[in-house]
């Protein structure tokens, strides 16, 4: 059988690096067609030398020029493309079969949507893209026959625990609830008053997972779980009422599906993103991920808690935005991206993140989201308002 030709968007990030680690274990199954990055030219250069992709894509012309020179000096035949269209082109190229969408944030939407419109096999890590564009994205997937495989560990677990016929007929599938597990992040037991003074370093020190900085802060506020509730809604066609969050500090159960007969199916594993990445890369086959066996004797105990919506208001805001629908999830996401960036820059306190999002949701309403341009306009408007709300609090 011919090899899957892969484009990795966000190759230099935490997910991108794990993806290439799995790909490198299976040279007989995969070849790298294109890699994209943003600022990390050193790592992208190394990856190009190692995987010899046909294309490397960078939005910024200065970064592209530097990479081009270095690759030429090293005798590489990888061609460097630049500008926002370059990312779209490598995601939708006829010569690529599979697109790993691993850019962080709304910046990943245009190329990921292009992959959906072009009917690719999409490995979706970039949850913000789906939160932002929900209906439009899923319509594009259905219209083109794209295959959408979730990389987010919770959604990958749910995907594995759902019956095959679910996609065609969610209502008749016998599913009662989707139970998304959450670690609770680094501040699960921190008293609300102490959250006032936490630093970016503390917020980025996740107890179980090593991830990029933005998603690490999202885990600390639990907005990550909120975005994942919205992501699950679009991926699995389930209403907000059918999606519940269960705090499970060990991060061993990655999520569960409950059926009407009372059966609950779970997927378990070590907290290593190479497991869901290998699952999606190999699907429907199973391939080696380089992950050690789960040591249940060492883990010994699995515990569960109710999420604390008062300590973690971001989770409640995400449910509220999902119920409200329309532009609300896009506004929630944009305000969150701005607030998290300000927190990481030490311009905004940790507890103000939720305030900025709530205030932005109040102020930005009833915008259309029926095209990519309309979504990007709503995203832009929400960012403008969020920046005002941030300035008022710094």
- Measured distance CA(363)–CA(365) in Å, rounded: 6
Q: Is 14 in the site for ligand NDP (CB under 6 A)?
A: yes
Closest alpha carbon to 68 in 93, 48, 38, 90: 48
Burial (0-12, 13-18, 19+ Cβ within 10 Å), 235: buried
14 vs 173, beta carbon nearer ligand NDP: 14
12 vs 173, beta carbon nearer ligand NDP: 12
User: Which residues inside 78-137 make contact with ligand NDP, applying CB under 6 A?
Assistant: 102-104, 107, 125-128
- Cis amide linkage into residue 358, ω under 30° from 0: no
Using the contact rule CB under 6 A, the part of the chain among 14-22, 252-260, 356-364, 382-390 near ligand NDP is 14-22
Residue 382 interacting partner from Mg ion, ligand NDP, none (CB closer than 5 to 8 Å by kind): none
- The residues, ordered by sequence, that sit 6+ positions from 188 with a Cβ below 8 Å of its Cβ are 247, 249
190 vs 208, beta carbon nearer Mg ion: 208
363 vs 377, beta carbon nearer ligand NDP: 377
Task: Report the residue from 59, 272, 337, 338 that binds ligand NDP according to the rule CB under 6 A.
Answer: 59
Q: Is 13 in the site for ligand NDP (CB under 6 A)?
A: yes
Give CA separation, 97 vs 67, 118, 123, 289, in Å.
25, 10, 11, 20
- Measured distance CA(172)–CA(51) in Å, rounded: 45
- 103 annotated ligand-binding residue: no
Closest alpha carbon to 241 in 146, 319, 337: 319
Task: Report the residue from 86, 136, 273, 335 that binds ligand NDP according to the rule CB under 6 A.
Answer: 273
Q: Is 152 in the site for Mg ion (CB under 5 A)?
A: yes
- The residues, ordered by sequence, that sit 6+ positions from 197 with a Cβ below 8 Å of its Cβ are 349, 350
- Measured distance CA(58)–CA(177) in Å, rounded: 41
Query: Residues within the annotated binding site for Mn(2+)?
Result: 152, 154, 228
Chain residues binding Mg ion by CB under 5 A are 152-154
Query: Residues within the annotated binding site for 1-deoxy-D-xylulose 5-phosphate?
Result: 127, 153-154, 183, 206, 219, 224-225, 228
Query: Residues within the annotated binding site for NADPH?
Result: 12-15, 39-40, 126, 128, 212
Chain residues binding ligand NDP by CB under 6 A are 10-16, 37-40, 59, 102-104, 107, 125-128, 152, 209, 211-212, 214-215, 273
């Amino acid at each position: 059988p011919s090899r899957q030709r892969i484009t990795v968007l966000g190759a230099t990030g935490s997910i991108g690096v794990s993806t290439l680690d799995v790909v490198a274990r299976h040279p007989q199954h995969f070849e790298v067609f294109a890699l994209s990055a943003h600022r990390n030219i050193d790592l992208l250069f190394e990856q190009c030398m190692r995987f010899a992709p046909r294309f490397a894509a960078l939005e910024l012309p200065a970064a592209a020029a530097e990479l081009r020179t270095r690759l030429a000096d090293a005798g590489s035949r990888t061609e460097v493309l630049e500008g926002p269209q370059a990312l779209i082109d490598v995601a939708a190229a006829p010569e690529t079969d599979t697109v790993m969408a691993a850019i962080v944030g709304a910046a990943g939407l245009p190329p990921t949507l292009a992959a959906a419109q072009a009917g690719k096999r999409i490995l979706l890590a970039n949850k913000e893209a789906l939160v932002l564009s929900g209906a439009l994205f899923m319509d594009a997937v259905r219209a083109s026959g794209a295959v959408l495989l979730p990389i987010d560990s919770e959604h990958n677990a749910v995907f594995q625990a759902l019956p095959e016929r679910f996609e065609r007929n969610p209502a008749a599938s016998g599913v009662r609830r989707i139970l998304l597990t959450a670690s609770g992040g680094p501040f699960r037991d921190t008293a609300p008053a102490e959250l006032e003074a936490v630093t970016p370093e503390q917020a980025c020190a996740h107890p179980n997972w090593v991830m990029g900085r933005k998603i690490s802060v999202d885990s600390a506020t639990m907005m990550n779980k909120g975005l994942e509730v919205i992501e699950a809604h679009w991926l699995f066609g389930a209403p907000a009422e059918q999606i519940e969050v269960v705090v499970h500090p060990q991060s061993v159960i990655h999520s569960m599906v409950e059926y009407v007969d009372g059966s609950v199916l779970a997927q378990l594993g070590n907290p290593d993103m190479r497991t869901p990445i290998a699952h999606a890369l190999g699907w429907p086959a199973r391939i080696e991920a380089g992950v050690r066996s789960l040591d249940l004797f060492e883990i010994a105990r699995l515990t569960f808690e109710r999420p604390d919506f008062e300590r973690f208001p971001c989770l409640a805001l995400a449910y509220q935005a999902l119920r409200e629908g329309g532009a609300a999830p896009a506004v929630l996401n944009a305000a969150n991206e701005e607030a998290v960036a300000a927190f990481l820059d030490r311009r905004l306190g940790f507890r103000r993140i939720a305030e900025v999002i709530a205030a932005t949701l109040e102020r930005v309403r009833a915008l259309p989201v029926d095209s990519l341009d309309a979504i990007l306009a709503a995203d832009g408007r929400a960012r403008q308002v969020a920046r005002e709300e941030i300035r008022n609090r710094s």
